[in-house]
C-alpha cells in the first residue's frame, strides 16, 4: 500500500473564478455570498451554481483584510491539565462560535509562561484577546490592551487592564473557617505557592485572613506547584517537619488528591488525623473516598462571559472593567463532614 498523500492541491476557487464561471462581476458574487444587497433571482442562481460547482469558499484572510476585522478571538491558557481550563475553553469557544467568531488558542509552557513574541503574534491575528492571569507579563498586556480589547482571566487586578475572575478570597476564608470552627482544627497549613498564580495568591490571602480573625498564627505555606506530583512533594516536606498540622488547605484538587494518597501511604488517615481540602471540584473529587471537600467555580460561565465581553468590546460597546463570579464551597468527607453515603454520582 502506502499511496503516500501529497495531492497537488487544486488552486482553490476565488471570487474571480466564480464570477467568470457565472458570467457576472465579482461584486455580484460578493453580494450573493454576503446576502447583502439585492440580486435578481436569476443571477443569484447562476452564481450559486458556480459556487457549488467550483466549491468556492471566501478566503478568510482576504476577507479579514477587507472588512478590517479578524472575526476571531484569542485565548491564552496554561497547560490544560485539570478540567478547569478545559471548561473555561469550552465556555469561551461556545460563546465565540455563537457570535460567529473563531478561536485562536495559545498554550503556555510547563512553567506557565508564554513568550511575548508568541503573545504578540497571537494578538496580531485577533480582534480581542483573553489571557489567563500570570502567563504574560503585565507590560506586554498593557501594551496590547492599548490597541485592542484585552481581558485578564483569573488574574490579579492590574491598572489599565480589564479583569474577569471567580471569587477566591472570601471562599477561602469560608473554607478555612469551616475547618477551624466546625471541625476544631487548630493548625491548618496552606499547600500551594501564592507566587505561582494570582488566584493561588488570593486563596492564600483568604486562608490567612480566617486564621488571623481567630488569632491563630498562619505559618509559611508549603510552596509547591499545582500538579499531582507537587502534592507528593508537599507531604514529604511536611513529614520531614514532623507533620506539624491537622488540616491541609490545598491550592487545587490535584494537589489535594495526591496529598491524601501520600498521607495514607504514610499511615495518616483523612479526615481523622488530618483534614484535607482542594479547589475546583474536579471529577475525581467526587469519586474518591472520602469525598474531597473543595470549592466549585462557575468556570464554563466564566469562559463564556469572557468571550461575550470581548465581543462586546470589539463591537465598540463599553463594558465594566471587571467582574467577579461567585463560587461555592462543597463539603464532602475530607474535611470531616459526614459523607452522604455512596451516592456521589454525576452532578
Partner DNA sequence: TTGTAGGCGTTATCAG
Partner DNA sequence: CTGATAACGCCTACAA
> How far is 304 from 306, CA to CA, in rounded Å?
5
Pick one of DNA, its own copies, none as the site partner of residue 42 (Cβ within 5 to 8 A by kind). DNA
- The single residue among 49, 62, 229, 326 that binds DNA, judged by CB under 7 A, is 62
E strand or H helix that includes residue 188:
strand 188-191
> How far is 274 from 62, CA to CA, in rounded Å?
61
Q: How many residues does the chain have?
A: 347
For residue 49, state whether it binds its own copies (rule: CB under 8 A).
Answer: no
Residues 2-21 that bind its own copies (CB under 8 A): 2-7, 9-10, 12
E strand or H helix that includes residue 248:
strand 247-250
Q: Which stretch binds DNA (CB under 7 A): 57-65, 107-115, 132-140, 150-158?
A: 57-65
For residue 266, state whether it binds DNA (rule: CB under 7 A).
Answer: no
- The single residue among 44, 142, 148, 209 that binds its own copies, judged by CB under 8 A, is 148
Cβ burial 32-53 (10 Å sphere, 16+ → b, else e): bbeeeeebeeebbebbeebbee
Pick one of DNA, its own copies, none as the site partner of residue 287 (Cβ within 5 to 8 A by kind). its own copies
| Residue closer to its own copies, measured from CB, 43 or 115 | 115
Give me the least distance between CB of 60 and DNA, in Å please: 8
Give me the least distance between CB of 88 and DNA, in Å please: 31
Give me the least distance between CB of 107 and DNA, in Å please: 25
Pick one of its own copies, DNA, none as the site partner of residue 49 (Cβ within 5 to 8 A by kind). none
For residue 23, state whether it binds its own copies (rule: CB under 8 A).
Answer: no
Residue 107 CB burial class (10 angstroms; 0-12, 13-18, ≥19):
middle
For residue 107, state whether it binds its own copies (rule: CB under 8 A).
Answer: yes
Cβ burial 279-317 (10 Å sphere, 16+ → b, else e): bbbbeebbebebbbbbbbbbbbebbbbbbbbbbebbeee
For residue 49, state whether it binds DNA (rule: CB under 7 A).
Answer: no
Residue 245 contacts residue 188 (beta carbons within 8 Å): yes
Give me the least distance between CB of 162 and DNA, in Å please: 25
Residue with cell 499531582: 228
For residue 318, state whether it binds DNA (rule: CB under 7 A).
Answer: no
Backbone angles phi, psi at 271, to 5 degrees: -95, 0
Give me the least distance between CB of 67 and its own copies, in Å please: 9
Backbone angles phi, psi at 65, to 5 degrees: -60, -40
The interface mask with DNA, positions 140-179, x = CB under 7 A, is ----------------------------------------
Write out the three cell numbers for 48.
450559486
- The single residue among 58, 125, 137, 219 that binds DNA, judged by CB under 7 A, is 58
CB under 8 Å to 100, separation ≥6 — which residues?
Answer: 71
Give me the least distance between CB of 286 and its own copies, in Å please: 9
Dihedral of alpha carbons 305, 309, 312, 317, sign:
positive
Residues 286-315 that bind DNA (CB under 7 A): none
For residue 345, state whether it binds its own copies (rule: CB under 8 A).
Answer: yes
Give me the least distance between CB of 248 and its own copies, in Å please: 16
| Residue closer to its own copies, measured from CB, 41 or 139 | 139
Q: Which stretch binds its own copies (CB under 8 A): 141-149, 183-191, 213-221, 242-250?
A: 141-149
Write out the three cell numbers for 309.
465581553
> How far is 162 from 150, CA to CA, in rounded Å?
7
E strand or H helix that includes residue 86:
helix 83-98
Residues 158-177 that bind its own copies (CB under 8 A): 162
Which residues here bind DNA, judged by CB under 7 A? 12, 14-16, 23-28, 30-31, 33-34, 36-40, 42-44, 56-59, 62-63, 65-68
Amino acid at each position: 500500500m502506502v499511496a503516500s498523500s501529497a495531492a497537488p492541491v487544486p488552486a482553490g476557487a476565488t471570487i474571480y473564478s466564480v464570477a467568470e464561471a457565472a458570467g457576472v462581476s465579482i461584486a455580484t458574487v460578493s453580494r450573493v455570498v454576503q446576502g447583502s444587497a439585492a440580486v435578481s433571482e436569476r443571477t443569484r442562481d447562476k452564481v450559486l451554481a458556480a459556487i457549488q460547482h467550483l466549491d468556492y469558499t471566501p478566503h478568510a484572510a482576504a476577507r479579514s483584510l477587507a472588512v478590517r476585522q479578524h472575526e476571531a478571538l484569542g485565548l491564552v491558557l496554561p497547560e490544560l491539565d485539570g478540567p478547569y481550563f478545559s471548561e473555561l475553553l469550552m465556555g469561551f469557544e461556545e460563546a465565540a462560535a455563537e457570535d460567529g467568531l473563531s478561536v485562536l488558542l495559545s498554550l503556555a509552557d510547563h512553567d506557565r509562561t508564554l513568550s511575548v513574541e508568541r503573545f504578540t503574534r497571537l494578538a496580531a491575528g485577533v480582534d480581542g484577546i483573553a489571557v489567563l492571569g500570570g502567563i504574560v507579563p503585565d507590560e506586554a498586556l498593557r501594551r496590547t490592551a492599548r490597541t485592542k480589547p484585552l481581558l485578564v482571566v483569573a488574574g490579579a487586578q492590574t491598572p489599565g487592564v480589564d479583569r474577569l475572575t471567580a471569587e477566591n478570597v472570601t471562599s477561602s476564608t469560608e473554607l478555612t473557617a469551616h475547618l477551624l470552627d466546625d471541625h476544631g482544627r487548630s493548625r491548618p497549613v496552606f499547600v500551594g505557592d501564592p507566587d505561582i498564580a494570582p488566584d493561588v495568591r488570593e486563596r492564600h490571602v483568604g486562608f490567612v485572613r480566617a486564621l488571623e480573625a481567630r488569632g491563630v498564627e498562619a505559618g509559611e505555606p508549603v510552596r509547591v506547584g499545582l500538579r499531582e506530583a507537587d502534592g507528593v512533594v508537599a507531604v514529604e516536606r511536611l513529614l520531614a517537619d514532623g507533620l506539624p498540622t491537622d488540616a491541609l488547605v490545598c491550592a487545587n484538587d490535584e494537589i489535594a488528591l495526591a496529598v491524601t494518597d501520600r498521607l495514607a501511604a504514610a499511615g495518616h488517615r483523612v479526615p481523622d488525623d488530618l483534614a484535607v481540602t482542594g479547589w475546583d471540584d474536579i471529577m475525581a473529587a467526587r469519586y474518591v473516598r472520602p469525598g474531597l471537600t473543595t470549592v466549585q467555580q462557575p468556570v464554563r460561565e466564566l469562559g463564556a462571559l469572557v468571550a461575550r465581553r470581548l465581543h462586546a468590546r470589539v463591537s465598540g460597546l463599553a463594558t465594566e472593567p471587571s467582574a467577579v463570579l461567585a463560587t461555592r464551597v462543597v463539603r464532602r468527607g475530607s474535611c470531616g463532614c459526614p459523607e452522604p453515603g455512596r451516592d456521589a454520582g454525576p452532578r
